[in-house]
Amino acid sequence: MSSIPPALLSRLRADLKPFLTSPPPGCHLSQDPDNILKLNGSITGPEGTPFEGGAFMISIELSNRYPFTPPKLRFLTKIYHPNISPSGLTCLSTLKSRPSGTWSPAISLYSLMTTVRVLISEPEWDDILENDVYEDYKRGGWEGKAKEWTRRYAGEGGEEKGKRGREEEEEEHKGKRGKVEEVGKGSNMTTTATTTTTTTTKTSI
């Protein structure tokens, strides 16, 4: 790892201090013991939502240019949410640089975690990542499935199941191996073999 700028270390200490003394409601965040620019944390599901009672593990990666570039936040626990992808990435303008996003160096990790927890409880249905979730929402079945996933993957003892579920879902969404498509017209037949290599990314916590 390249040397970390002193200004970044100072900023990181300031960002993490509130998590030791007065963390935001329902949020926990700490440094990875093996990498100072990696953070491990959890967000509890807000009361009165389908995610109530769940503890969702997350990871945050910072670059040497933080806070001038936004963090990379990923959910490690499987969650049925329209703004969170199968790989755990979050569709949130705060996590994108301008002009496409609203990230600013003034945004602290405290503020970021609070914003993500609000997103969990108040999905943005006009900015979805998961069409399947949206279809369930239109049919009125979204909350029931979100509650079931919360119980199964984010409830007591669900951390490992949640991570395994995330990996299985990545495999399903990234493609099938050795898929063969045959396209024929008249006496001419063309066989196209499309092979997709699936890579699963696993983050240790």
Residues acting as catalytic residues: 91
Burial of 25 (0-12, 13-18, 19+ CB in 10 A): exposed
Q: Give the strand pairing for 27-32 and 179-185.
A: unpaired
b/e burial code for range 132-164 (CB count within 10 A of at least 16 → b): ebeebbeeeebeeebbebbeebbbeebbeebbe
C-alpha separations of 180 from 53, 116, 157, 188, 198 in Å: 44, 41, 40, 17, 16
Largest distance between two CA atoms of the chain: 75
Residues 6+ apart with CB under 8 A from 171: 198, 200
- From 49, 51, 47, 41, select the one nearest 18 (Cα to Cα): 41
